[in-house]
């Protein structure tokens, strides 16, 4: 059976998901798109071929040709749309974050548990990236011993002006929060955030250094810098008792040219994580067929947003802040 998919939100990410679906995801077909700006929706539909434009997000969720929904609209709309999908009994892949507030994340969890079926996946695509997956395998293989540190770098070349110093963690470093939870298989107990002085290229926004302490005592550092000018740069090194494992640069080739040797740097996350986005879609569609959820759950979305909220608090207060997520319901056991 081919699963009819609808995309809500035709901005940068909605358009990219529509393109990937149009290029071909086994078992899935893009049927319709929707955006508050009908011209933007029409542009994405035209680029994708035989795809309808639907007026409202609610119409798209109710559409009988659509069995699964991809939510890529602004963050403030995520929770209500994810809940509407759950109530319609349709699986939803929701771009990160799961919701704009921790309270809203809780309401998605409550709706999903009430319905009795795991239908919401959060688009933390790094869980599908070949590099992070290899890192996870080497950790699970137990050759390296227990993890001690995970050092991460998350640099963006540019960010829109609404990304304030506070949002650098919530919007960017939230990826590291999710992937660190995935790699380490545990939650964080405390967080401290220190702001560096601002780059003269972006005087209103401070680069942030987040230090997370896991429940078992692993320390995770994240440099989150959204004005790196030179490109999109994500790094991670996991240091363990008997060795360390790092992400290798992503490009498949390296160049020697004009007296230099090195790798091209991707412009943004769509290029850097292209394989991960495609694999995320492939596994999401396959999971709808099998009924076995994959990727980040609504609980993972809640845990990431709660940890990011604690980081904002830590940053504002200038001190180490405890994180308390409460008990993970058995409904979300891996
Ligand atoms: C952006 O919003 C994303 O979703 C990207 O995945 C992330 O790497 C980037 O830092 C964010 O600004």
pLDDT in single tens digits along all 334 residues of the chain: 899 999 999 999 999 999 999 999 999 999 999 999 999 999 999 999 989 999 999 999 999 999 999 999 999 999 999 999 999 999 999 999 999 999 999 999 999 999 999 999 999 999 999 999 999 999 988 789 999 999 999 999 988 888 888 889 888 999 999 999 999 999 999 999 999 999 998 888 999 999 999 999 999 999 999 999 999 999 999 999 999 999 998 888 999 999 999 999 999 999 999 999 999 999 999 999 999 999 999 999 999 999 999 999 999 999 999 999 999 999 999 7
Residue 172 CB–ligand 1 contact under 6 Å: yes
Q: What is the pLDDT of residue 204?
A: 87
Q: Closest Cα to atom 2, ligand 1: which residue? A: 171
pLDDT of the residue at 143:
87
Predicted confidence at residue 170, as pLDDT, reads: 87
Kindly give, in sequence order, each residue whose CB lies less than 8 Å from that of residue 154, ignoring residues fewer than 6 positions away. 172, 173, 175, 176, 222, 223, 224, 225, 233, 234
Cα 269 to ligand 1 centre (Å): 6
The protein residue with its alpha carbon nearest to ligand 1, atom 3, reads: 172
**CA 180 – CA 55 distance, rounded (Å):** 39
Q: C-alpha 308: how far from its chain's center?
A: 13
Tell how far the Cα of 128 is from the centroid of ligand 1, in angstroms.
Answer: 16
Q: For atom 6 of ligand 1, which residue has the closest CA? A: 269
pLDDT of residue 161: 84
For residues 315 and 241, give the distance between their C-alpha atoms in angstroms, rounded to a whole number: 31
Look at residues 71, 55, 75 and name the one whose alpha carbon lies nearest to residue 63.
55
For residue 232, give the ligand 1 atom closest to its CA. Answer: 8
Give the CA angle between residues 294, 296, 300 to the nearest 5°: 140
- Other C-beta atoms closer than 10 Å to the C-beta of 137 total 10
What separation in angstroms does the CA of 169 have from each of 2, 62, 134, 180, 305? 38, 35, 25, 14, 10
The answer to whether the CB of 171 is under 6 A from ligand 1 is yes
pTM for this predicted structure? 0.96
Query: How far apart are alpha carbons 146 and 134 in whole angstroms?
Result: 16
**Cα–ligand 1 centroid distance for 35 (angstroms):** 20
Best residue among 165, 166, 171, 234 to mutate for probing ligand 1's pocket (most ligand atoms within 8 Å of CB) is: 171
**Closest by alpha carbon to 310, among 213, 196, 206, 180?**
213
Between the CA of 313 and the centroid of ligand 1 the distance, in Å, is 21
Other Cβ atoms less than 10 A from the Cβ of 59: the count is: 13
Measure 174 CA to ligand 1 centroid, in angstroms: 9
Position 5 scores a pLDDT of: 98
Tell how far the Cα of 170 is from the centroid of ligand 1, in angstroms.
Answer: 10
């Amino acid at each position: 059976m081919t699963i009819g998919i609808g995309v809500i939100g035709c901005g940068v990410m909605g358009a990219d998901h529509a393109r990937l679906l149009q290029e071909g995801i086994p078992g899935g077909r893009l049927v319709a798109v929707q955006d508050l700006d009908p011209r933007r929706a029409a542009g994405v539909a035209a680029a994708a071929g035989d795809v309808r434009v639907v007026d409202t997000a609610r119409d798209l969720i109710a559409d009988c040709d659509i069995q699964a929904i991809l939510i890529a609209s602004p963050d403030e709309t995520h929770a209500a749309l994810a809940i509407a999908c759950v109530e319609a009994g349709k699986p939803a892949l929701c771009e990160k974050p799961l919701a704009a507030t921790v309270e809203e994340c809780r309401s998605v969890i409550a709706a999903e548990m009430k319905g009795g079926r795991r239908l919401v996946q959060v688009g933390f695509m790094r869980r599908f990236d070949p590099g992070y997956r290899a890192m996870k395998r080497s950790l699970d293989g137990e050759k390296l011993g227990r993890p001690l540190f995970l050092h991460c770098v998350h640099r963006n070349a540019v960010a829109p002006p609404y990304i304030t110093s506070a949002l650098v963690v919530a919007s960017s470093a939230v990826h590291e929060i999710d992937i660190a939870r995935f790699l380490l298989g545990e939650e964080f107990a405390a967080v401290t955030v220190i702001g560096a002085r601002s780059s003269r290229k972006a005087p209103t926004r401070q680069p942030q250094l987040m230090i997370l302490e896991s429940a078992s005592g692993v320390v995770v550092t994240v440099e989150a810098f959204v004005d790196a000018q030179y490109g999109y740069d994500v790094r991670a090194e996991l240091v363990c008792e008997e060795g360390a494992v790092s992400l290798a640069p992503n490009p498949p080739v390296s160049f020697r040219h004009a007296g230099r040797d090195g790798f091209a740097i991707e412009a943004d996350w769509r290029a850097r994580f292209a394989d991960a986005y495609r694999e995320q879609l492939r596994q999401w569609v396959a999971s709808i067929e099998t009924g076995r959820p994959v990727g980040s759950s609504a609980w993972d979305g809640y845990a990431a947003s709660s940890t990011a909220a604690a980081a904002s608090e830590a940053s504002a207060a200038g001190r180490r802040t405890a994180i308390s997520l409460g008990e993970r319901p058995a409904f979300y056991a891996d």
